[in-house]
Amino acid sequence: MFSYQGKHCRELLSTTAIAERVKALGAEITRAYADRGEDLVLVGVMKGSVIFLSDLARAIDLPLQMELIGIASYGDSTKSSGVVQITSDLTKPIEGKDVIIVEDIVDTGLTVSYLLENFRTRQPRSVKVAALLHKPERSVVKVDIHYLGFTIPNEFVVGYGLDFAQRYRNLPGIMVLEGGEH
């Protein structure tokens, strides 16, 4: 336990553990897509995934494109409503492409399941999901995560891109914020 910006933090995943896991995921994706040509597109879900996206992309030894998609989900902070809106769309069509959605965390699963459904209408060759974290205890809709970093307990985490009220994204590891109000 240590103090960061006046809050108590407990490290859940160290920078070393994350770096090793991301490298392994990159190698796995490299093997899986090696004979698929040059149509791999990583789609990072803003903003939480951008740090994972940048590390994962550099761990993949294949030609690829990177895209970002912005999402707003309605409902209060504790209950995801499943109503998701695209606030910033892809810059290029994904028709005929091999798409990997890159997410920071799959919590209820509603965001990824919305994106999967939305992307399918754009006729990509394939769509898979890479998520750094998964909180299975919070699952509302079942989502297949093809490339998963870590399964974590039902605790609110920050760092490595994940925020609380837009803060803590730049913490290098994954931390649990102690105390109800963060």
> In the range 51-90, which residues lie near Mg ion by CB under 5 A?
none
- How does strand 126-134 pair with strand 147-151? parallel
Alpha-carbon dihedral 18, 101, 147, 35, rounded to 10 degrees:
-120
Q: 3-state DSSP call for residue 83?
A: coil
The tokens 């940048």 sit on which residue?
54
Minimum Å gap between C-beta 163 and Mg ion is 9
Out of ligand IMP, Mg ion, none, what residue 108 binds, judged by CB under 5 to 8 A for its kind, is ligand IMP
Q: If contact means CB under 5 to 8 A according to the sort of partner, which of ligand IMP, Mg ion, none does residue 80 touch?
A: ligand IMP
Residues forming the site for ligand IMP (CB under 6 A):
48, 80, 103-111, 156-158, 162
Select 61 or 89, whichever has its Cβ closest to ligand IMP.
89
CA–CA separation, 15 and 32 (whole Å): 26
Output the smallest distance, CB 39 to ligand IMP, in A.
25
Q: Report the partner that residue 106 touches, choosing among Mg ion, ligand IMP, none (CB closer than 5 to 8 A by kind).
A: ligand IMP
- Nearer residue to Mg ion within complex by CB, 30 or 73: 73
Q: Is 48 in the site for Mg ion (CB under 5 A)?
A: yes
**Cα diameter, the chain:** 50
* Residues belonging to the active site: 107
Structure tokens that stand for 33 in this block: 């897509």
Shortest Cβ 105–Mg ion spacing (Å)? 7
Least CB distance to Mg ion at residue 19 (A): 21
- Cβ contact 48:26 at 8 Å: no
Q: What SS3 state is found at 20?
A: helix
CB-nearer residue toward ligand IMP: 99 or 106: 106
60 vs 112, which CB is nearer to ligand IMP?
Answer: 112
Q: What's the rounded Cα separation, in Å, for the pair 84 and 22?
A: 28
Instruction: Return phi, psi of residue 47, to 5°.
Output: -95, -10
Which residue ranges make up the site for Mg ion (CB under 5 A)?
48, 104
